[in-house]
Structure 1
């Protein structure tokens, strides 16, 4: 299901998978697992959407998030898991509430706004693997079209996730259990992403799908 949602909207994998996986795995294993699986979804989506990506337009966003990602990984190591789980739940609720309002918050100085958005996204990715909500809200608020939204968000997430994985590796978070679960979940994940990519081509009202998520 999480892979399907990601293939359909280009984000939401962590929003769906994190609450469920934490029932089964410790948070310090769940977060690295979700980030590694997210990279797989990013690559799968970019294979058909890279032509619409404008990395030059979002480079400030990328650099800001990369700078914050190691701090997020450090928070995962030092902050109590129960606190991070509460933060995860609050983020999901807040994000859902904002989507349900249907409101957008366009910003005139887009490049300047990329800095705080990127920092927030990097911190969230390293600590609870949820980099998508701040960036998705910002890009949708700027009136970004469906193709550009998918491509830019996916390219951004791919870069950030790779850097975050490096931080996890340096922090000793990529243990044997994480790698084992990663290995056997990839095929199922790819099947879900493939179905989501196919479905989005038949979806005329892209924003409705995002809202329902």
Structure 2
């Protein structure tokens, strides 16, 4: 039963990311933690996301812009250490509430077609990457900042998804490498990979079908819903823990 639940969860999470370009960890991690130890879930979702991102990159050859993504990714790596340091100075729970609330409010603004005119896109992408890395180090939420920057730039759904999966693929590789060299990767999760691969394959296939069928307007709504889910997943648990 656990294997079936694991596969179904991965199918759902993979479909979401295959459509929107991100969201595998956001959707999959909370559901997997109902049956699997949190430490194993972290390793498992990163493995799953990496496999999925590599598949989507193969399907989107020539659509992504590494000229835009590489500086953004490099800046995100630089921003991680200050984020981790800042986390040690402030209350982590309150920080997650603040960041989650900001993500929700900015997502609502994007839903209302609010945008900021940016003339120096390369510089702005580096800043967005740095802020994303900082937020990743402080709250483990680096994705929403990058996604909101790309949405603000009015990229079409093809370029948006292609750029996001390239950014997160690089991110997955660095995280897995870091976990391996620091000796914190849970090797007990390796047998479970055989269960998630079919889920990733099916979810990616379903996501590809859905991606090409949805209109740009629906695609934008899907991305905004995933962003709002990011904010709620950050705010919700902390509010429940501290105020209820």
- Structures share fold, TM-score greater than 0.5: yes
Partner of residue 208, structure 1: 221
* Cα distance between partner residues in 2 of 1:93 and 1:22: 23
Partner of residue 116, structure 2: 105
1:122 positional shift: 3.4
Q: Return the TM-score normalized by structure 1.
A: 0.81
Partner of residue 166, structure 1: 177
Cα distance per residue 1:113-166 (max 9 Å; x no partner): 223322343355567664321111000001111111111111111112111110
1:8 positional shift: 0.8
* Cα distance between partner residues in 1 of 2:29 and 2:134: 16
- 1:54 and 2:65 are equivalent in the alignment: yes
* Cα distance between partner residues in 1 of 2:136 and 2:202: 24
Instruction: Verify the 8 A CA contact 2:81 2:137 in the aligned structure 1.
Output: yes
Matches within 5 A, 1:31-70: 31-68=42-79
CA spacing shift, 1:65–1:167, aligned 2, 3 Å? same
Instruction: Verify the 8 A CA contact 2:39 2:186 in the aligned structure 1.
Output: no
Partner of residue 122, structure 1: 133
Give unmatched runs, 5+ long, in structure 2: 1-11, 227-244
Between 199-208 and 105-114, report the one with greater CA deviation. 105-114
Give unmatched runs, 5+ long, in structure 1: none
Instruction: Verify the 8 A CA contact 2:44 2:193 in the aligned structure 1.
Output: yes
* Cα distance between partner residues in 2 of 1:17 and 1:35: 10
1:12 positional shift: 1.3
Cα distance per residue 1:146-198 (max 9 Å; x no partner): 11111111111111211111011112122222323333212112211210111
CA spacing shift, 1:128–1:171, aligned 2, 3 Å? farther
Matches within 5 A, 1:65-80: 65-68=76-79
Q: Which protein is bigger by CA-based radius of gyration?
A: 2
* Cα distance between partner residues in 2 of 1:118 and 1:147: 20
Instruction: Verify the 8 A CA contact 2:75 2:129 in the aligned structure 1.
Output: yes
Instruction: Verify the 8 A CA contact 1:31 1:127 in the aligned structure 2.
Output: no
